[in-house]
Amino acid sequence: MAESDPRRRIPRTDRLLALPEVERASAQMGERVVRELIRAVQDRARSGRIAPEQVEAELLSGLGTAGAHSLHPVLNATGVIVHTNLGRAPLSDAARAALQDAAGYTDVEFDLASGRRSRRGAAARAALLAACPAAEDALVVNNGAAALLLATTALAGSGEVVLSRGEMIEIGAGFRLPELIASTGTRIREVGTTNRTHAEDYAAALDPATGCVLRIHASNYRISGFTSAVPVAELAGLCHDARLPLVVDLGSGLVDPDPALPEEPALSTALRDGADVVIASGDKLLGGPQAGILLGRADVIARLARHPMARAMRADKLALAALEATLRGPEPPVPSALHIDPAQLRARTEAVSAQVGGRVVDHDGRVGGGGGAEVPLPGVAIALPEDLAETLRRGDPAVVATVRDGACLLDLRCVPTDRDEDLIRAVKAAQAARAASAASEHP
């Protein structure tokens, strides 16, 4: 390399690591992460994108926004409450505090009074039973798919699960529930047709090979028109006459009926109607952490808990702590967003719009996450130029909006009220960047 080559002036890694600010950052996020940042800045200098003399300043600037993980908090301005791509349910303050407490050593399987081992997740189980008294017992696993797999495998084994053809569901990313069930060797006995299944269809399918009957709520789509399905109460009677368990996968985690979602089935209702086990996700309408929740008859839940697969699927201490706090603490963000006062939402939106410009337009929010399929949640949004969407996503804080009909739509339904000023600053910064870019293109 020639003496005049500017790359010779790029600071060495050991000198950069010795900077006081870099040493402090290494202690907080780990030396490996810091070394990767140093290498990235040095590579920018080697390629000529920055001068060697800028390396130190660029590194120190990057340390201020870097962390030991790559997840970025965002403001959800889409109006979709349980947004799968944005992590589904945002946790309540109580659940966040519980996560912090559970992050270190904790009595997750230890009785502090006796000094002996205790039942894992006992407090979360008690909170679930208090929230849903129709259940005799509860079990928590790591997600909804795990709960379904555990229930069908433990109850049917290599036998058959009876399932309507109208409930052979594919959810996000091409994930098909029938394939999940069959993955452990359980056979699916299909009954009925796509649009109509009758009680006699189930009755004709029950034989000594049947391990359980399964109902799956069509949460992310609707079949309308010439349709027929067997109510849970009628199907439960049929199953119990045959001494077979009925498993009902409701997915969305709605514990009790909600007038805002009149067609969304509730866990408590299904249990009172005779379901032996109901299944739900913890991070949807319940508003808690990712978890698979099984509620039902004590003997059936005990059978599931004894299955070897239950150990592989058990929930960790963080999920158990956050779930308990969600159930026992104040109302989480998800139900708050679902039941937001329309007048207050409009007033907030108009106040933000007065600061950033744009038009206030009608905009329907959604439940998302496979809950309340096709149910609009009437509201409003701020319509801004479409090209602001990308700049907002790349900003700090990152703001995710909806792009539709040539506009960038900001729906405040899921934005916490104490973040309105942050949202205003983000929009103004995006508008300023847009104006600066236009000025540079047309001086």
pLDDT digits (tens, 9 = 90+) for 107-149: 999 999 999 999 999 999 999 999 999 999 999 999 999 999 9
- CATH class given for the domain over 74-84+336-441: alpha beta
Q: Is 95 in contact with 433 (CB distance < 8 Å)?
A: no
In the chain, CATH 3.40.640.10 sits at 92-330
Q: What tens digit of pLDDT does each residue of 1-24 get?
A: 555 677 889 999 999 999 998 998
Q: Is 146 in contact with 306 (CB distance < 8 Å)?
A: no
| CA proximity to 138, closest of 326, 298, 307, 311 | 298
Phi (first) and psi of residue 101, to 5 degrees: -65, -35
Environment class of residue 323 by beta-carbon count within 10 Å: exposed (0-12), middle (13-18) or buried (19+)?
A: buried
All residues at 6 or more sequence positions from 236 whose CB lies less than 8 Å from its CB, including other chains: 246, 273, 274, 275, 276
| CA proximity to 188, closest of 207, 214, 154, 221 | 214
Please give the order of strands across the beta sheet that includes 246-251: 137-141, 292-296, 277-281, 246-251, 210-216, 160-164, 187-191
| CA proximity to 200, closest of 160, 151, 162 | 162
Q: Is 99 in contact with 318 (CB distance < 8 Å)?
A: yes
- CATH class given for the domain over 92-330: alpha beta
Mean pLDDT score, 399-418: 97
Q: Which pair of tokens denotes residue 260?
A: 């805002």
Adjacent-strand bridge partners of 399: 75
| CA proximity to 290, closest of 305, 280, 278 | 280
pLDDT above 90 coverage of the chain, percent: 80
| CA proximity to 275, closest of 309, 310, 231 | 231
Per-residue model confidence (pLDDT) at position 68 = 55
In the chain, CATH 3.90.1150.180 sits at 74-84+336-441
Chain Cα centroid distance, residue 100: 19
In order of 99, 140, 242, 320, the CA distances from 324 in angstroms are 11, 11, 36, 6
In order of 79, 351, 354, 384, 415, the CA distances from 358 in angstroms are 17, 11, 8, 5, 18
Q: Are strands 398-400 and 74-76 parallel, antiparallel or unpaired?
A: parallel
* Residue 98, H or E segment: helix 93-102
pTM recorded for the entire structure: 0.86
Q: Residues of 80-119 as b/e, b for ≥16 C-beta within 10 angstroms?
A: bbbbeebebbbbbebbeebbeebeeeeebeeeeeeeeeee
Tally Cβ neighbours within 10 Å of residue 170: 13
Q: What tens digit of pLDDT does each residue of 368-393 get?
A: 988 887 799 999 999 999 999 999 99
Mean pLDDT score, 291-319: 97
| CA proximity to 392, closest of 344, 353, 340, 432 | 432
Adjacent-strand bridge partners of 292: 141, 281
Q: What tens digit of pLDDT does each residue of 136-183 get?
A: 999 999 999 999 999 999 999 999 999 999 999 888 777 899 999 999
Per-residue model confidence (pLDDT) at position 32 = 87
Per-residue model confidence (pLDDT) at position 174 = 78
Per-residue model confidence (pLDDT) at position 251 = 85
